[in-house]
Amino acid sequence: MTLGRVLLGTALLCSATACSGADLFPITRDATGGTASGGNGGGDAGAGGGSATSTMGCDAPARPAGDWPQTVVVDGVSRSYVLHLPPTYDATRPAPLVVDFHGIGETGASERASSPYPAVLDPEGVVMAFPDGRRGPAGTGWNVGPCCVADTDDVAFARAVVAHVQTLACIDSTRVHAVGVLTGGGMAHYLGCHAADIFAAVAPAAFDLLVENETDCLPSRPITVVAFRSTADPRVPYAGGASSLVPGMPLTFLGAQASFAKWAEIDGCTSGPSPENASGCSAYTGCAGGAEVLLCTRDGTEQQGDPSIAWPVLRGHTL
């Protein structure tokens, strides 16, 4: 179905795949983002060949800093996420957005509580979103191909979350990034493969590309990937291999080094990998479109990712 107009306001936020309630001033935009009609001073953000920076939510009433539960409807199913506005968020200036995906059995709220990213990103006024996965055989998780939640389009959900946040906060649509841990890391990989038109860069942790769907990883543009892995992860073997941790949904991890090399191949990198630095990070460079591919390895069990390493790389890449 193609929708010629998108209504953002107290009624519904709709796209071809998703609708949601939005506590905003009414403003109607056509399918290309131009203003068709509106109220409360909504301008022509995104129309007329101007800057690519999104300002859709920049005229909305400013919300206080904090964590705000939100709901979107995707394919007829109500889905939820936590919107995090840091104390330094400036509602008059487009901010980066980082979407942080939880591990299996967790929630957006639990990821908000445990994620290392807000402490690093909050001082820079970065807006974050923490989505809730749907329940699968091993608990809440994400559909990343052969695993771990069936009959769910989580790429559509991720797109809907980004679109919804852009109506609630002043977001720079060229600086949207995905991070995650465990199956949430798998989701970050998957979005790099299937939503590179929305996400400028991704930083997965404790997960790899999968043998079952690596050939389907065909991003629309070269995309920067910063991967975090541990040598003795009990659930995601560093060397890769078969896993049956999720009942009825077996998968095969490509492995940390093989995933690293695969992303370099996908991005057309010509140099690397470099020797590991003091943080255990190796990099491919000379990639198409200025993309970078990094693998940061630590000894021990699974790691959640290091935003002090990831964020300086992510923020340097835009759509």
Q: Above 60 in pLDDT, residue 114?
A: yes
Q: What is the CA radius of gyration of the chain?
A: 19
Whether the pLDDT of residue 308 is over 60: the answer is yes
* pLDDT exceeds 90 at position 20: no
Domains belonging to the chain, first-starting first, are 86-314 (3.40.50.1820)
CB neighbours of 245 closer than 8 A, spacing ≥ 6?
138, 235
- As a whole number of angstroms, the distance between CA 183 and CA 102 comes to 7
Sign of CA dihedral 221, 222, 226, 227: positive
pLDDT at res. 302: 80
Buried b (16+ CB within 10 A) or exposed e, 263-277: bbebbebeebbeeee
pLDDT band for 56, please (50, 70, 90 cuts): confident
Query: What's the chain's average pLDDT?
Result: 86
> pLDDT value at position 54?
64
Q: CA 78 to CA 15: how far, in whole Å?
A: 15
- The owner of tokens 């997960």 is 207
Contact 207, 100 (CB under 8 A): no
**pLDDT tens digits for range 267-287:** 999 999 999 999 999 999 999
How much is the average pLDDT of 102-125? 98
Phi then psi for residue 267, to 5 deg, are -85, 0
At 86-113, the pLDDT tens digits run 999 999 999 999 999 999 999 999 999 9
pLDDT for 182-191, tens place per residue? 999 999 999 9
H or E, element range at 134:
strand 134-136
Q: What are the pLDDT digits (tens) for 292-302? A: 999 999 999 88
Pair 259, 265: CB distance under 8 Å: no
Is-above-0.75 flag for pTM?
Answer: yes
Nearest-10 Cα torsion for 39, 21, 102, 281 = -20
Specify burial of residue 21 (Cβ count, 10 A radius: 0-12, 13-18, 19+).
Answer: middle
What pLDDT does 52 receive?
Answer: 58
Report whether pLDDT(39) > 90: no
**How would you label 71-97 residue by residue, b for 16+ Cβ within 10 Å and e otherwise?**
ebbbeeeebebbbbbbeebebeebbbb
Q: Rounded distance, CA 200 to CA 44, Å? A: 24
Q: Which amino acid is at 152?
A: T
What pLDDT, on a 0 to 100 scale, did the predictor assign at position 303? 81
Phi, psi of 150 (to 5 degrees): -85, 160
Residue 122 near residue 86 (C-beta atoms within 8 A)? yes
> How large is the average pLDDT for residues 20-40?
28
Provide the percentage of residues in the chain whose pLDDT is more than 90: 78
Report the pLDDT value the prediction gives residue 43, as an integer from 0 to 100.
Answer: 31
Q: pLDDT at residue 27 above 80?
A: no
Give residue 304's pLDDT: 87
pLDDT of residue 252: 98
Average confidence (pLDDT) over 153-181: 97
